[in-house]
Structures are given as C-alpha cells and as structure tokens.
Chains A and B, each alone.
Chain A
Amino acid sequence: MSATIHRDRLMDDISDVPVLAVNNLAVSYRNGNDVQRVVYDVSLRVKPGEVVAIVGESGSGKTTTAQAIIGLLAENGKLDAGVIRLNGTDIAAWSQRQLDTVRGCKISLIPQDPTGSLNPVKTIGEQVAEILQIHRYGSREAIDTRVIELLTRVGLSQPELRASQYPHELSGGMRQRVLIAIAVALRPALIIADEPTSALDVTVQRRILDLIDELRNEYGTAVLLVTHDLGVASDRANHVVVMKAGRIQEQGPTQQILTSPKSEYTRQLLADAPSLRKAKYHSRSRSRPEVDGDDVIVVDNLLQDFPLGGRRRESFRAVDGISFRVRRGSTHAIVGESGSGKTTTARSIVGFQKPTAGRILVDGTDITTLRGETLRQFRRRIQLVYQNPFGSLDPLQTVFHIIEEPLLNFDPLPREERARRVQHILDRVGLPQAVLTRKPHALSGGQRQRVAIARALILNPQVLVLDEAVSALDVTVQAQILGLLDELQRALGLTYLFISHDLAVVRQISDTVSVLHNGRQVDGGTVEEVFSRPVSSYTRELIDAIPGQLSPVHV
C-alpha cells in the first residue's frame, strides 16, 4: 500500500524534463554474416523520480533495449539508429570511454542474477568501494566510511562483517541488497533495474522491491524497470511500456494500460498474468461435481533425511512430518519457497527416493514398500512432468521416439498400435503431427512442455505430478499450458499434484493446497480456506507478497 501512496505524491513533483529520452532506437545482433534486428523503433521517456516499466516476454527485446541505453550491448550488438538522451545529452554515439564517465554516477544498473553479478574472489566491501574509486569519490577513509553507510542503508545487518565477507557467504537476497547499494552509491539520476527480483523467492522479492522504492523516494532517482511480470510492473511503475518481438505494442500511464489496454497483445498479457487474474479455472473446477471420498494420494507423516556427509554422520531433515490427502480428479498444490521441501516431497511420491519414515499410498498401494520390478510396474500409474522442458527431453531423440518410449517399457504392442497411440496423444496435447520427426532443439519451450506432458500421459496414468511445470515458461505460454492441463483433467479424470512457488498460479488452478516452510506443513486445506483465512503468519506473508495487488485493478 505504501508504494501506491508514494506514487501518488510523486506524481505531483515530477518535472517535465526527462532524465532519459529514447527516440526511434534500433538494435541488431550480428552473427558471422547474419544480421538480425531485435529492437525496432523504440521510443520512451523517463521523468525524474519516475518508475517506467518495460514489460515483455522472452525475445521481446526488453533487456536489449536496457543494455543499449547503458551502452553495454554484447560484443556483436550494434546500435543501428536512434537517439538516447540522458539529461538532454545524446549519448547514443558516445565511445565506451565517454560512457565510462556517466556509467555508475549518472546512470547505474541493478542486474538480474545476484549470484553471478558479484565477483567471487573479491570481498563485498571491495566491490562496493570500487564504484567510488572509479569515480574518485575521495580518500580511502572516506570511501570505507561510505561503504559501511551504504551497506547499512540497504538493510544489511553487521555491515562491517558483510564488507569483509565474500559473495558466496551471503544469501541471494543479501547479495541483491549489495548490488542495490552499488547502484545507488553515487545517487545516479537513473537506475536500470533488469529483472531485479526474478531469481529471488517471492517474499524476498517483495522486500527488495520495497527497498528500491524507498531509495528512489529518498534520492529522487528515476528507475527503468525491466520485467516479465505485469504484476510487478503494475505495483511499482508510473508508466508501462509493453514490448513484443522487438517493438513497443503500447505505452502509457500504468492505470490506463491496466484498465483500458488498446493493443490486443496487452489484453492477452493481462488476461494471462496469473497475478492479475482471480481464479479463472478455479471457479470452473469447483463447479465440477464433487467426487465422493476416494483419495488417490494419501501422504501420512512423511519424513525425509539426507546425510550431510560430515564427521558425525549428521543429516539434514528436508521434509518433516507432512500429511495430506488428494481426491481423485482434483488438483492438490504443494506451495513453498526454495528449500521448503516441496520438490523432495514430490520425488518421494513418484518413488524416486525412499522416505526415512512415513507412509505414501498411491491408489491404495503403499509405494514405500515397493522395489525393483513392482516399483517399475507401479510407475505406469503416476508420472512426473519436470520444470525445465529443455533438460527433460533427450536431445538426440525425435519427438516420436520420446513419446513412444514409455510404451516400449511395458507390454509389447505392435508398431502400428504404438504409432496410433502416439498420434492420438499428440492431438490431445495440441501439437501438429509435423513435430513428430523433429528433435527437441527445434521446438519452442511451450511445445517441449507439451511433448513432456504427452510422454507422461501415454501410459494412461491416474496421477500427474507437475514439478514447477509452468514456471520456466512465458506468461502467455504458461496460460496455454494451464488451459491444456485443465482440459486434460476434465477429459481424462486425472489427478494433479502441482508443485509450485507461484501462489498466483496455485490459486488459479488448485482445489486444495499444502503450504510448506522449512520442511514443515504450515497450512493446508481448500484453496479458498487457505487464501482467505490462512492459519500461519508465513502463509499470510506469502499471499501478501504476490505481486499485482497494489495495482489499480484491485484497488
């Protein structure tokens, strides 16, 4: 809520001279003799103290635009045309040497990946001090004092200790705070924040975005926020620029974009963004006739320890006493942040690891007792779909062989019958027959995930475990896959166990949910109960952290 208030107050202060004015920017990449244009005719302006968000899916050219503005295109990138005015001066034609004088002090960067963005062999203090040294901030002592000041300001505890530590000793959120300290060190007029929170857990994401907002208000810095998440943009930006395939689809004040979008693509983005949409499928799935008390999955007091390999045979408890039941034909979600034990739980249920203690019944069979051939036979009934559709398909196999393979593992079928089933399932997941002869690298991310679903479905399983199965996909593709899953569930009576960190998606598609935190179940029940009356404060925090709630659509 605080961000909304700030934004309104700031609206009045904003003067009309833009910090950044980009006109007709065009960028292309050169690969050998191939020249490929990736940004066409982009114009935008950022006024002092304002937040402008560039929103787009992968390949939209949003990051390239940001890199071009700060003069850090990849070696093969070329600015073909356009004017980039920073405080009125055109820097588009500047040499790298000239740009070095404004980078860091007039315009700075908050990068995407907090892990790789700090030099692993230098201390935090050295890396914050570096920007001050480059721009000759002052004496050694002055710099050291300022470093501690900055680390304190971005909310790091024990700043002196942090300054002497190396990046690997800090958590992801702490590293992102360090990078923010670097970006604001010289109070630049403009900060380019390139997906600053995409690699972070949702609760951390919220705190980091709040920090950026706070510092922006304090220093009067403008922010160009590059993001794939329309929810984040709607919460934080005054002005939104929507990009697709290198072109601006539309731009305007956030409120206007959200409430009366002009372009077809923006409307689609708005419709597909899970955070901005309340339970599209949910209402439908709830209207489905209640199936009577038949539980397909029963998890009872599941415990999972992993040996740490230390001297005293210490072990780490990844899952600590989790219990839940899933009704046939329904969708149960397991939600949690990284390290919550959600993936471990899923892997125990599909039989990839033996639980330390507890019982898992799948369709009446206790799978913790299965081994060898009986476990192999059991696998027909429950299948797993992975998060990363690039890694879960064998790069050397054709789509036909990938989908056909499970059939070869069980009762032998004649060749024609196998081909018929593969074609049938391919239709089901909405892929054209033409892809059968292709290999995974020739498919898009969404198509690959459809292939993975087809492979999982060809054995007619009763349960599908979806491990972050839509997390790696763009929102529009994500919406398509979620739609497909919903359709398949109703047509085939499938039961889904949906593992996700994304509460917005979970709210959309699940019937029941378990919330995990540090290996324990902190909340559970129907989606409606958990989302409206959470028992634990952690769940409350998770729900509040879903981006898109500060936006005028909901206000």
Chain B
Amino acid sequence: MDIANAFALLSNFVLVPALAYGAQLALGALGVTIIFGILRFANFAHGEMMSFGAMAAILATWFLQSQGVSISPLPTALLALPIGILAAIGMACLTDRFVFRFYRRKRSNPIVFAIVSVGVMFVMAGLIRIIIGPDDQSFADGARFLVTVREFKAATGLDQGIAIKQSQVITVVVALIVVAFLFWFLQRTRWGKAMRAYSDDEDLALLSGIDPEKVVLIAWIIAAALAAIAGTLYGLDKTYKPFIFLQILLPIFAATILGGIGQPVGAVLGGFIIAFSEVMVTYAFKRFLAYLGPDGWVPDGLVQLLSTDYKFAVSFVILVAVLLVRPTGIIRGKVI
C-alpha cells in the first residue's frame, strides 16, 4: 500500500496529459458549439480551421526565430499566436463572405451548410498542404519541462516521478484565460448578450433590433480565434501534422454533443470528459494497482480496458451513448 507513489504514477501518465488534452479539446469544441448555436450547422471545416491557424502561427514562429527574437524560456510560438489568430479570422471572414452568406440569405437547410463546409474543408486542406506541406513540423522551443521526473523524485523522495511539460502548463493556462474571457464576453457585454439572444430565438432577436450579420461575424471571429489557439496549443504540446486535424474533429464533435450543442459550459465539460475517458480507458493500470494493493502483489494482466490504438473509438462510443440516452447532452437546451 503506497498511496503517494500510486498518485504520482497516475498524475504523470493520466491526469497531467489528460488535463492538457482536455483543454485543447474544450477550445475546439467551444468553436464548434458557437457556430452551431448561431449558424445552426455542424462545421466540418473546423479541424482544418485549427490547422490553418496553427500553420500561420508556425510560419510566424519560424520568421521570429530566424530574426533571433526569443522570449525564452517561453516558446516563441506564444508570441506568434496572434498572427495565427488573425490569419484564421481572416480566413473565416472570407469563407463566410464568399460561401456561407449566400446560403444564409437563402435560409438553406442545415445539411446544405454541412455539405458546403465539406467543400471549405477540401479547399483549406489543399491550401495548407501546398503552403506548409503534409509532413511533421516542429516549432517548439524554449524550456521543455517545468518539472522533470528526476527533480520531482529528488524533491519528494518517491519512487515515481511526475514530469510536467511546459507546453502542458501553457495549454491549461491559456485555455483558462480564453475561456474566462469568452464567458465574460457572452455574459456581460452587449454583443455577447445579443449572441445569446440570437442563439435562443432568431426571430425575437431580429425583432429587438439585433443586426444578424454582425452577430454572425462575431461568431466566426470567436470560433476562428478559438480554433487557431486550440490548433497551435495542440501542435506545441504534441506535433503539428496536417492530417491529424481531420482525426481530431471526431473527439471535438463528441465533446460538443456530450456537453449539449450550443452550450459553451457544456463544450468545456465535454472536452475534459472525453479527454479523461480516452486516456483512462487506454491506460494500463497494472503498476497503479500494484502500488495500491498489498506489498509484493502485482496484477496478472495489464489491467487495460482497450489498447491505445482505439483511443478515438472511446470518444465515439461516448458519442453514441449520449445520442441514444440523452441526445440533448449534459446541459440541456440550445442556448449559447
């Protein structure tokens, strides 16, 4: 029985990585949920939007690095992040002006919007691969670890260490700031309230003099900014590879639906639930249980529910379960 070591082990392999991953998913899901709340369609291009913003941030990072600009020990990418956000916002405004606005005026069916977003996804995927190429890109610099395994062991005297990557801390901190700002915006400001009203009841909002075009524009700006931040943080924490962003769309959609479509609080909640389930279901609890059990006892198998290959199957199973049991998601309703 060794609770301290068991907890250290679990933190190192489950809690810390899942927290960072959850923050990335939450940011992505917030963007999807806002578009869903205001424009009422599932945006298949959101993954590519994340990729696009991250790509712009990476290009800016490289430029800054070549100029010798550095904010070490923090990664240069943080300095370049505003460029990524601006690029994503520009892209979102362009697609809205030249693609989505037409269907909005025609009041097309949500499926038509979804199909059109597939077209946007194709175009963005092509652009990204032409500009930066289909391969892995590394752009992280600065200090790698805040706490290394060795330091932790030396400080606490435990057998198990906890390593905390700098990118993980940055991810969580940035996500906290962004989410807090977003909620402040939605709850307190005039345009935030207008957005909530519009999401709640479009016709009533129009009657009370809210400009729909402006609401839509703000929704795109917020979603694009969130996407760029999420994409860059994901790239910083793991790796930037264009094709990953089509795969990550699934857990993001799952988080959105799990939390309740159009619900920002739900999106954050959903992101963390999905991330924690993905990591926990595919984690082998053998050593963790060995620490908790009587001395010298070790479980027979790996005590792993699913092999890590099926990571994203977890998010999907949750998605199906939610759709069957409680299609409205954890937080009911469709209010933004």
Pairing of A with B? no
**Chain A contact residues, CB within 8 Å of chain B:** none
